[in-house]
Amino acid sequence: MRASIQGRFGDRLILVAVVALAICWLAPIFWVIGLSFKPNDVIMKTTGGLLSPPFTLKNYTDIIATSAVFGWMLNSAIVATGQTLLTLALSTLAGYGFARTDFPGKRLVFVAVLAGLAVPEQAIIVPLHTMFAEANLHNTYFGLIAPRLAVPFGVFLMTQYFRGIPAEIEEAAMLDNASRFKIFLRIVLPLSIPAQATLGIYTFLHAWNEYFWPLVSATKPEMYTLTIGLAATQTNFAQTEGIGFLMAQAVFAGLPVLILYLFFQRHIVTAVSGGFAK
C-alpha cells in the first residue's frame, strides 16, 4: 500500500520533469516561429511582446520574392535523391553478394569494407577535395553526391538483412528454373523492400542535412544546397537587419522535414536508430 502511493508520487514527479524538459525542447522552435511573423524593425528593438501585435507575413512574402531558398531546395532534392538511389543500388547488390553468394576472396573484401566503417569523413576530406579539384568535379551535382557512396554503412545494413531471409526461398526458386538474375529481380528485390525503405530514409535525411562536404565542394551560390545556403546567410548574422527574414527562412527550410517526420515518424525512427543498433 505504502509502496504504491510512493510509486504513484514518484511517477508524477518524473512526469512533471519530463514535461518540463519537453517544454524546453519546444520553446526554441516556437520562439523562432513567433519571431518569423514579426516585423524586422520591431525585433531590432525588442523581442518581448511576441504574442502581441504587430504581426506580419512580410518575411514570408520576401522569401518568395527575393530568397534563393527555392534554388537551394532544388539542389538539395537533386543531391539527396541521387545519393539515395545510388546508395540503394550499390548497397543492395553488394549486400546480396556478401550475404548469399560466394566468390574467391569474399571474406577478405568483406573485412576491408567493414573496416571502412571506422573511417570518419574528416580523415579523408582534404585529399578527397584535392582529387575532386583535379577532376574539376566541384560545384557539380555528381561532386556533391559521390563521396558518401563509398560509405559502407548501407552495404553492412543490407548484408545483415539478407542474412535474415531464409535461404530456402531462393533454393526453391532455383528448383523453379529461375536464373540467378531472375532470382535477384523477382525474389530478392521485392523481399528487401523494408530494408530499402529504412536505408533510403536514412540516406536521404543524411544527404539533406549534410554540412561539411557541400561546404567545401559547393562554393558557387547557384550550387548551394539548402544547408549551405542557410549557413551562408547567417555568417554575417550580427550585422543583419532582417532577423525576422532569417527566421522565416529557417522555418520555411525546416518545415518540410518536420512535416515528413510527423507523417513517417516510425520509419524515420527505425531508419535512424535501427542502423546503429546492429
Partner 1 sequence: MTSIVLKRVSKKFGTTSVISDLSLAIDPGEFTVFLGPSGCGKSTLLRMIAGLEDVTSGEIEIEGQRIDRAPPGERGVAMVFQNYALYPHMSVRENLSFGLKNIGMPKAQIDERVQAAARMLEMDALLERRPSQLSGGQRQRVAIGRAIVKEPRAFLFDEPLSNLDAALRSRTRVELSRLHQRMKATMIFVTHDQVEAMTMATRIVVMNQGRVEQVGTPLGIYRRPATRFVAGFIGSPAMNFLKVEPAAGEGGMAAVRLGDGTVVQTDIPTAGLEAVPAELGVRAEHVTTGGGIPATVDVVERLGDRTLVYSRLRNGAAVVYEDEGDSPVSVGDAVSLGFRRQFLHLFDASGKAHQAPTLEGGPRHG
Partner 2 sequence: MAEAAALSRPAGVVGRRTWANGLFVLPFFLTFLALMVLPLGVGMWLSFQDYDMLGGYGGSVGFENFTRLWEDKIFLRSVLNTVYFVCLSTPAFVALGLFLAISLNDTYRRSAVLRSIFFGSSVLSVTIVTLIWRLVYMPERGLLAVSAGAVGLSSPSFMTTESLAMPGIAIVTVWWIIGLPMMLFLAALQQIPREVYEAAALDNASRWTTLTRITLPSIRRTIVLVAVIEVILQFQIFGQVHLITNGGPNNATRPIVMFIYEAGFRDWSLGYAAAASQVLFVLMLAASFFQIWIGRSKQED
**Among all chains, which residue has been given the C-alpha cell 504587430?**
54
Query: Which does residue 96 touch among partner 1, partner 2, none (CB within 5 to 8 A, set by kind)?
Result: partner 2
* Residue 255: Cβ within 10 Å count: 11
> Considering the complex, what minimum distance in angstroms separates the CB of residue 193 from partner 2?
18
Residues 6+ away with beta carbon under 8 Å from 196: 88, 92
Among 73, 78, 85, 93, binds partner 2 (CB under 8 A): 93
Q: Which one of 128-136, 170-178, 196-204, 206-214 is the stretch in contact with partner 1 (CB under 8 A)?
A: 170-178
Q: Which is nearer to partner 2, 102 or 239 (CB)?
A: 102
Residue 160, amino acid = Q
Q: CA separation (Å) from 65 to 69, 70, 97, 138, 220?
A: 10, 11, 51, 29, 21
**Site for partner 1, residues 180 to 209, rule: CB under 8 A:** 182, 186-187, 190-191
Query: Residue 269 Cβ, how far from partner 1 at the closest point, in Å?
Result: 24
Contact window for partner 2 (CB under 8 A) among 17-25, 60-68, 136-144, 192-200: 17-25
Which pairs count as long-range contacts for 105-114, CB under 8 Å and 24+ apart, including other chains? Answer: 110/159, 113/152, 113/155, 113/156, 114/152, 114/156
Long-range own/partner contacts, residues 128-135 (CB < 8 A, 24 or more apart): 128/213, 129/216, 129/217, 132/217
Residue 214 found at the interface with partner 2 (CB under 8 A): no
Total residues at interface with partner 1 (CB under 8 A): 16
The entry of partner 1, partner 2, none that residue 176 binds, CB within 5 to 8 Å by partner kind: partner 1
* Contact with partner 1 (CB under 8 A) among 111, 166, 181, 235: 166
CB of 140 to partner 2, least distance (A): 15
The distance from CA 246 to its chain's CA centroid, rounded to whole angstroms, is 22
Are the CB atoms for 36 and 59 separated by under 8 Å?
Answer: yes
Binding site for partner 1 (CB under 8 A): 166, 168-169, 171-178, 182, 186-187, 190-191
